[in-house]
Amino acid sequence: MSRQSQITSFLTTSSNPSPSAPSHEDLIQPSKKQKRTRKRTSWIWEHFIKDLNENNEPVIVCQVIKEDGTKCNVQFKHDGSTSNGNSHLWSAHQITKVGLQPEEKQLNSQKQKP
């Protein structure tokens, strides 16, 4: 018997498999991919932390200290985007990527809005 026919014979025959028995392909489990975490590069992470809300959903929580000395603690659902955090930092705290904006720039930007 040739080597090829031995291999074919091994793959196609077994000790009387039942018709309901799973095929060889069904027994192979796909390997689970490990989720990689990426380094957080956005500037907003200087002002936010990741957490879970009461429904066990991912959120980001603002850590900026307000004028009265308390943390802001505003929460936003986090789907991977940093847009909500970015908008919050500007609208509530006048913080941008380059830092706290002086009142003069704040007034100019508000005048430019229609």
Domain assignments of the chain as residue spans, ordered by start = 42-98
Per-residue tokens: 72: 């802001």
Local confidence band at 94 (pLDDT 50, 70, 90 cut-offs)? very high
Distance of alpha carbon 45 from alpha carbon 5, whole angstroms:
63
Q: How do residues 20-56 score in pLDDT, each as one tens digit?
A: 665 655 566 666 777 777 788 999 999 999 999 999 9
pTM of this prediction?
0.59
Q: Are strands 95-96 and 99-100 parallel, antiparallel or unpaired?
A: antiparallel
DSSP state of 54: T
Evaluate whether 95 touches 89 at the Cβ level (below 8 Å): yes
Neighbours of 62 (CB within 10 A): 21
